[in-house]
């Protein structure tokens, strides 16, 4: 609960953050940038968890604890994604999304 700031304002900020992430995910050409965009999407949802918990159910803790879970899972996911990207680089000497098209075959 932050004095002087309403829940709508914070949710607007996280929505913007979320769509920035979506936009980046769809338009970036570099796999690393796409991974960063995904991180933005994660963070938007984590903030949402915490804010909704604090503003609507101040006595409960589930939202906060769940956000910690999400951070842990996001970390694991990033590690996985980076290792995949490294492998792709070794195979194709490129981290461009368009070069990964060949994987559909």
Partner 1 sequence: MDFTIIIFILLIPMAIFLLLGIFNQKIKPAVSGYLGVLGLLASTLLSFYTAYQYFFVNGKSNEVYQTFVEKTLWMEFTETLHFDMGILIDPISVMMLIVVSLISLMVHIYSRGYMKGDEGYTKFFAFLSLFTFSMYGLVLASNLFQLYVFWELVGVSSYLLIGYYYTKASAVAAAKKAFIVTRFADLGFLIGILTIGYYAGTYDFGVLNDPGGTAIMNWAATSFMGLSALTWALILIFIGGAGKSAMFPLHIWLPDAMEGPTPVSALIHAATMVVAGVYLVARLFPMFYFVEQGFALNIVAYVGAFSALFAAIIAIVQTDIKRVLAYSTMSQLGYMMLALGVSGYYANEGLGFMASMFHLFTHAMFKALLFLGAGSILHAVHSNFLRDMGGLRKHMPITHITFLIAALAIAGVPPLAGFWSKDEILAAAYEHNKLIYIVGVLVAGLTAFYIFRIYFGIFWGKEKKYEHTPQEAPLSMTFPMLFLAFMSISAGFIPFGKFITADKIEFLAPIHYPLAAIAVGAGSMGIVIAWLFYKKESDLADKFAKTFGAFYKWTVAKFYFDEIYLFVAKKIMFNKVAAPIAKFDKKYVDGTMAAIGNKTVLTSEKIKGMQSGRVQDYAFAFVAGIIMIALLSIYLWPT
> Quick check: helix, strand or coil at residue 96?
strand
Q: Rule CB under 8 A: choose which of 6, 12, 15, 27 binds partner 1.
A: 27
The reply on whether position 8 binds partner 1 by CB under 8 A is: no
Which C-beta is closer to partner 1: that of 54 or that of 100?
Answer: 100
Task: Give the separation between CA 20 and CA 29, rounded to whole angstroms.
Answer: 15
Task: Give the separation between CA 27 and CA 81, rounded to whole angstroms.
Answer: 18
Other residues' Cβ atoms within 10 Å of the Cβ of residue 54: 16
Contact 81, 69 (CB under 8 A): no
Please list every residue from 33 through 72 that binds partner 1, using CB under 8 A. 34
The reply on whether position 74 binds partner 1 by CB under 8 A is: no
The reply on whether position 90 binds partner 1 by CB under 8 A is: no
Residues that bind partner 1 (CB under 8 A): 22, 25-27, 34, 97-98, 100-105
């Amino acid at each position: 609960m932050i004095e002087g700031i309403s829940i709508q304002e914070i949710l607007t900020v996280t929505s913007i953050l979320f769509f920035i992430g979506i936009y980046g995910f769809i338009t970036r050409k570099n796999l690393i940038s796409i991974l960063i965009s995904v991180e933005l999407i994660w963070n938007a949802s984590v903030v949402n968890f915490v804010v909704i918990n604090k503003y609507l159910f101040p006595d409960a803790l589930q939202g906060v604890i769940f956000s910690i879970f999400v951070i842990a899972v996001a970390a694991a996911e990033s590690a996985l994604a980076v290792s995949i990207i490294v492998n792709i680089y070794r195979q194709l000497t490129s981290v461009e999304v368009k070069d990964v098209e060949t994987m559909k075959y």
